[in-house]
Chains A and B, each alone.
Chain A
Amino acid sequence: MKMSKPMTITEKILAVHAAKKAVSPGELIEVRIDLALANDITAPLAIQAFKEIGVEKVFNRNRVVLVPDHFTPAKDIPSAEQCKILREFAKTQRLTHYFEVGQCGIEHALLPEKGLVLPGEVVVGADSHTCTYGALGAFSTGVGSTDLGAAMATGRLWLKVPESLKFIYYGKLNPWVSGKDLILATIGDIGVDGARYQAMEFCGEVIKNLPMSGRFTMANMAIEAGGKNGMIEPDEITFQFIKQRSKRPYKTYDSDPDAHYADVKEYDVSKLHPQVALPHIPSKVKDVREVGKVKIDQVVIGSCTNGYLDDLRVAAKILRGKKIAPSLRLIIIPATQDIYRQALKEGLIEIFLSAGASVSTPTCGPCLGGHMGVLAEGEKALATTNRNFRGRMGHPNSEVYLSGPAVAAASAIKGRICHPEEVMKRRV
């Protein structure tokens, strides 16, 4: 379609879904939703909202996805009751995409893997990390349960067109530096409200060479800077990822060279070393070498941020033939069943078990202090997850540090936060 004025990729996707030639930041629009998603925490309220609206059926039974991933396999009776609400709703509404424990996975890793999100689409999910799918060049954003209930009923939702921010990364990545380090450094730079209400568009030569896993990690954490959505223009890496997963047609969009951005930030990654976010806010970011000697009680590798196969491969490379510190617990959670199975085939799980790790079935579990690794008073954890707010992983007086999988695996061996180089011999 010929667009009437220069627009960003985010604006173009929203314009198409609002059946308009063009949209401008700040404009309130009603958009057509391609996919609506909820999990075992948010779906019960969304289903209640849906029922209160008084419609019989969801707008499209192929376009509503329910993923019980947070407190599953059900950690207690109330959680089991919540899951039951999802299961029954999925059955009554004959939903195509309900993922039971055993076929399930962490929602934001699962949906792209199943080919449920494609470039150019609009996805809303009752989970803040729904912004992950921006990595595929889709517009996707987190909403609350009431909004999701409305989206399930009508297939539409009102949105405010966000301003866009452009983040350009150039230079050569140092060893052990990944998408997680890029996004942590960015959040450290702009703060937890640095992109409030805005679209974060990631680009530059570094992004062009970043694997899908790293792209998902970056878009995933847009919300940690207050962003409405993360966005990466689809390219050959995206197309390859999709090719194996979906046969549905899709349309790609890109930003016009003269599109308007509220701000443009440039980062030379050649100077960037692995990053760590200190308690209790994701923007309190430091170079791992400047963190000091922080002894840790638990390391978690997993989540919608870093539970991808590439992340497990990095962790296995570091843990191979080594043992974790005896004073520490290492919990590794592949994000989906397929990732779990592939990790098993590649021998990664064997490496983890030999190192002394506990490996779990896919779940969000510990990331939000739900189960599978809740912290006691005074304990410190290093996690590849996305949030480290006070009490996020358990007791209000526990602490969470955030990093990528390389720092997490190395630190599990040392028993304190460290640079991967400390446990890996430098090899050229």
Chain B
Amino acid sequence: MKFEGRIWKFGSDVDTDAIIPARYLNQSDPKELAKHAMEDERPEFVKEVKPGDLLLADKNFGCGSSREHAPLALKAAGISCIIAKSFARIFFRNSFNLGLPLLESPEASEVIQDGDHVRVDLTIGEIEDLTLGKKFHATPIPPFMQELLQDGGLIPHLRKKMNPQR
């Protein structure tokens, strides 16, 4: 699995209220949620983000509430992959369950700059900053999570497991 796009860089401890404020949680339509992703943190994000773009953050990305609306909004906004120094645990689970890949790389999180053009190869965990001409290696994704991504998330994965004839 490969992705390529521009980097949207954020700081540390970005919480789920920042990713999708609770005032929009009275519905669960991914397209509606996407319209408000990161809007308090960085209002231009939803207007300018393009399908395939990547999000980069410092430590503990996605802390706070368990709302799956957070990774759902980012995925529906077009984000293909999130790279961070570390992730909050519920956000981590939710993202893989939805088929949104996350990569942990402290070095990439430090060096890559906002607006850089980046290419990611998930299978080998390689992050290449095409703007800077530098390569980084992320912590390998566990085989079980790789399988989830291959299947498109937990639900298609379970469907396959529980109804093998389909």
Contacts and interface: CB of A to CB of B under 8 A. Distances in A.
B130 to A, nearest CB: 31
B26 A78 contact: yes
A60 interface: no
A193 B63 contact: yes
A197 B89 CA distance: 6
B59 interface: yes
B19 to A, nearest CB: 10
Interface in A146-171: 146-147, 149-150, 153-154, 158
A368 B65 contact: yes
Contacts of A76: 26
Interface string B8-47: 0000010101100111011110000000000011000000
A200 to B, nearest CB: 13
Range of interface residues on B (Cβ < 8 Å)? 35 or more
A52 B162 CA distance: 12
A52 B155 contact: yes
Interface stretch (B66-74, B75-83, B113-121, B131-139): B66-74
Contacts, number: 139
A150 to B, nearest CB: 6
Interface string A158-198: 10000000000000000000000000000000001100110
Given A146-B154, A391-B21, 15 more contacts: A54-B163, A71-B25, A82-B26, A130-B66, A144-B97, A146-B68, A146-B97, A146-B155, A150-B158, A154-B158, A193-B60, A193-B86, A368-B22, A370-B22, A387-B15
Interface of A: 28, 41-42, 44-45, 48-49, 52-55, 70-71, 75-76, 78-79, 81-82, 125-128, 130, 142-147, 149-150, 153-154, 158, 192-193, 196-197, 223, 226, 228, 281, 368-370, 374, 387, 389-392, 396
27 contacts: A42-B68, A44-B28, A45-B28, A45-B69, A49-B154, A53-B158, A128-B65, A128-B66, A142-B66, A142-B90, A144-B71, A146-B94, A150-B154, A154-B158, A192-B60, A193-B63, A196-B89, A226-B88, A226-B89, A368-B22, A369-B17, A370-B23, A370-B25, A387-B15, A391-B18, A396-B21, A396-B40
